[in-house]
């Protein structure tokens, strides 16, 4: 039931996409929910410029799903804010959060992002290593 409600909230926010004046306050209100499913749904809408700080803060959430959503949302944030935060998320105890961080770092064409991805090639989780190794391999000149 909560998952369906969170999906409905996500659809509502996406419908408001062309209207940032409506979208940002709604997403901000969802960030404040006590329910991790609602906070995750808020993060799944992306990272509107005015809410990047909330996504960074959400990387400290007790629920791994929220932290993974925050890492995913930061793929659209400015590199100066996102890259150091995502690099730090590579140390998260949950492999799904680390995978989300790696996938988001791929979106940032930044030397620090490439360095963080190179470090992630030695992650204890095979999936994290594979995503990171693929990114490092694809970044090499032909």
CA dihedral 61→65→66→68, nearest 10 degrees, is 100
Q: What pLDDT is recorded for position 79?
A: 93
**Residue 116 structure tokens:** 């963080």
pTM over 0.85: no
What confidence tens digit (pLDDT) does each residue in 70-80 have? Answer: 999 899 899 99
Q: What is the mean pLDDT of residues 112-126?
A: 96
**DSSP for 22-80, written as a single string:** HHHHHHHHHHT-S-HHHHHHHHTT---GGGHHHHHHHTT-SSHHHHHHHHHHGGGS-HH
**Is 37's pLDDT higher than 70?**
yes
Domains, the chain, ranges and CATH? 2-139 (1.25.10.10)
- Residue 42 · residue 14 · CB < 8 Å: no
Using alpha carbons, list the distances in angstroms from residue 47 to 27, 77, 141.
9, 6, 31
Q: What pLDDT is recorded for position 142?
A: 41
């Amino acid at each position: 039931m909560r998952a369906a409600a969170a999906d409905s909230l996500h659809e509502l926010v996406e419908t408001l996409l062309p209207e940032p004046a409506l979208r940002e306050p709604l997403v901000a209100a969802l960030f404040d929910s006590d329910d991790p499913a609602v906070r995750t749904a808020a993060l799944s809408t992306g990272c509107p410029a005015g809410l990047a700080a909330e996504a960074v803060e959400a990387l400290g959430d007790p629920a791994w799903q929220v932290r993974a959503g925050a890492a995913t949302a930061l793929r659209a944030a400015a590199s100066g804010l996102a890259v150091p935060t995502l690099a730090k998320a590579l140390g998260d105890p949950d492999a799904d959060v680390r995978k989300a961080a790696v996938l988001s770092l791929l979106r940032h064409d930044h030397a620090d992002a490439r360095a963080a991805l190179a470090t992630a090639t030695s992650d204890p989780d095979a999936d994290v290593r594979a995503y990171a190794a693929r990114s490092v391999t694809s970044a090499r000149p032909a």
